[in-house]
Amino acid sequence: MIKALQLRINLHQEGKPNGLLLKAAYDLGIEPSEISGIKILRKSIDARKRNIMFNYKVEVYINEPVPENSDYQFDYKDVSKAKPIHIIGFGPAGMYAALRCIELGFKPIVLERGKNVQDRRRDLKAINQDHFVNEDSNYCFGEGGAGTYSDGKLYTRSLKRGDVRRIFENLVFHGATDQILVDAHPHIGTNKLPKVVQNIRETILKFGGEVHFESRVSDFTLKDHKIVAIQLQNGNELDVEKVILATGHSARDIFYLLNDKHIQLKAKSFAMGVRVEHPQDIIDGIQYHCKGEKRDELLPAAAYSLVQQVNNRGVYSFCMCPGGFIVPAATANGEVVVNGMSPSRRNNTFANSGIVVEINADNDLYKYEPFGELKGLEYQKDLERLAFTSGGRRQSAPGQRLTDFVEGKLSPNLNETSYQPGLKSAPMHSLLPKLIGSSLRKGFKAFGEKMHGYYTEEANVIGVESRTSSPVNIPRTETLAHPEISNLYPCGEGGGYAGGIISAAMDGERCAEAATSNL
């Protein structure tokens, strides 16, 4: 017999090897020996009260064997001689578009400007240590896209749970832990992601697809409202029939290229701000009600999610990384951009999060109107240049103690940081545009009231968090093709159709289905 059950156990029971089983037996009124096994379907932590509880949704197998975790199978076909689909960009959107093409019997030919995951590491080291940004290989560009050296948080607000499950199963199929199928807040971690990404590439190659690194698309030829050929920076030219454009929100050269060719684009609202970094112990103390003590070893590094309306404008936490690192995510020299990542065990001593302010493309960017639909992009660029100059004209970033930022004082010194290129004390309260700076200052005060201990001089604010989402939308019709170019499928975060790894992957699948539907 199989019984579905919701179980709630405390820290003490969680710590016992058979705590869950004993609780299931007790709730079902049976002997523990009658239970042959328990399959966990969902796990979450409820830390709202001092008595922290673990919530489980399980299937209890009574006097019958527990089935193996299903061995996920995807129907990949040999596509070596099939019709090609060209995919530009090998981030989550491009990778999942390629996998879906193979399932549908088409040959993906992927063109990626960056390097494979191993070679990419050297370029990340150069940013951190030598302050040199390779403009084709960095934290945003290269195999796996911006998702590879990230936190690998797999949350999405998408309501299409079936599709989400498929994406997760495919990650497990390619080597991610099956814990992601169970956790309420799943994440993979930057140390595990490269292997998953590499396995995805190997599947694509094994079934006859192609993946070309160091192949930046620099131009294309249009004829009769179609792209007929694409040119690469290495001089190669490829004839194409269908093109999925999955170049992400940092591929500014692609936005300029489309704009120069008078291909319709649309300015999009987005968000920008700073990253705030606290000692993880402070966040644990607040969230787990254990101020001044270490969190229980059964508990993961605590996360938080904050939002506040300031003068009808949203100020909110974004991409919070417990036990993580702040990383330099610029894609060009002369700019400083910060973002966050964490390893699978989230065992670093810092907690960081983007704290960003909504920027409305229609109302907030009037000074940038001359840039037309690229006004948000230019605003973003200006802020990143400002961070570069105020951070010391290197990849070191401008920083300020949180309390000094809010009170409008330069910090004489800064707290320790996980940001490897280092920090330079800067008056960010006066440097940031008022729209962002004053909203953030009010937002931080309000956050301090929601989470007592959050507003502290032991935290740094670090600038700038500018690449939260695309400032440009590449329009598409209900067929998912661009309204003016019938064989171009804008895809993923760059087009404005995704906001994270999972939604980008889902959009990649959708675009592959659309691009292959009439071939």
Residues lying near ligand FAD in the complex (CB under 6 A):
88-94, 111-114, 139-142, 145-147, 150-153, 216-217, 246-248, 250-251, 253-254, 319, 327, 329, 339-341, 492-494, 498, 500-501, 504
φ, ψ (nearest 5 deg) of residue 46: -110, 100
Residue 249's nearest CA partner among 262, 265, 235, 261 is 265
To ligand FAD, the closest distance from the beta carbon of 72 in angstroms equals: 21
Length reported for the chain: 519
Q: How far apart are CA 372 and CA 392, in angstroms?
A: 31
Element (DSSP H or E) covering residue 495: helix 492-495
Q: Which is nearer to ligand FAD, 247 or 417 (CB)?
A: 247
To ligand FAD, the closest distance from the beta carbon of 153 in angstroms equals: 3
Burial of 458 from C-beta contacts in 10 A (0-12 / 13-18 / 19+): middle
To ligand FAD, the closest distance from the beta carbon of 205 in angstroms equals: 17
**Which tokens go with 436?**
């962002």
Q: Which is nearer to ligand FAD, 327 or 365 (CB)?
A: 327
To ligand FAD, the closest distance from the beta carbon of 424 in angstroms equals: 21
Q: Which is nearer to ligand FAD, 27 or 253 (CB)?
A: 253
Q: For residue 111, how far is the Cα from the chain centroid?
A: 21
CB atoms within 10 A of CB 177: 17
Q: For residue 125, how far is the Cα from the chain centroid?
A: 20
Q: How far apart are CA 283 and CA 327, in angstroms?
A: 20
To ligand FAD, the closest distance from the beta carbon of 498 in angstroms equals: 5
SS (H, E, C) 139-182: CCCCCCHHHCCCCCECCCCCCCHHHHHHHHHHHHHCCCCHHHHC
To ligand FAD, the closest distance from the beta carbon of 19 in angstroms equals: 30
Strand ranges for 360-511 from DSSP E:
397-401, 423-425, 460-465, 472-473, 488-490
Please check whether residue 181 is in contact with residue 192, taking contact to mean a CB–CB distance below 8 angstroms.
no
Q: How far apart are CA 153 and CA 339, in angstroms?
A: 13
To ligand FAD, the closest distance from the beta carbon of 340 in angstroms equals: 6
Q: Which is nearer to ligand FAD, 217 or 423 (CB)?
A: 217
- Among positive and negative, which fits the CA dihedral 396, 401, 404, 410? negative
Q: Which is nearer to ligand FAD, 146 or 435 (CB)?
A: 146
Count Cβ neighbours within 10 Å for each residue of 274-304 and write b for 16 or more, e otherwise.
bbbbbbbbbbbbbbbebeeeebeeebbbbbb
Q: Which is nearer to ligand FAD, 233 or 438 (CB)?
A: 233
To ligand FAD, the closest distance from the beta carbon of 1 in angstroms equals: 39
Task: Check whether the bond before 338 is cis (ω within 30° of 0).
Answer: no
Q: Which is nearer to ligand FAD, 285 or 508 (CB)?
A: 508
To ligand FAD, the closest distance from the beta carbon of 215 in angstroms equals: 6
To ligand FAD, the closest distance from the beta carbon of 143 in angstroms equals: 7
Q: How far apart are CA 249 and CA 247, in angstroms?
A: 7
Q: Which is nearer to ligand FAD, 93 or 98 (CB)?
A: 93
Q: Which is nearer to ligand FAD, 247 or 411 (CB)?
A: 247
Q: How far apart are CA 494 and CA 504, in angstroms?
A: 9
Q: Which is nearer to ligand FAD, 93 or 102 (CB)?
A: 93
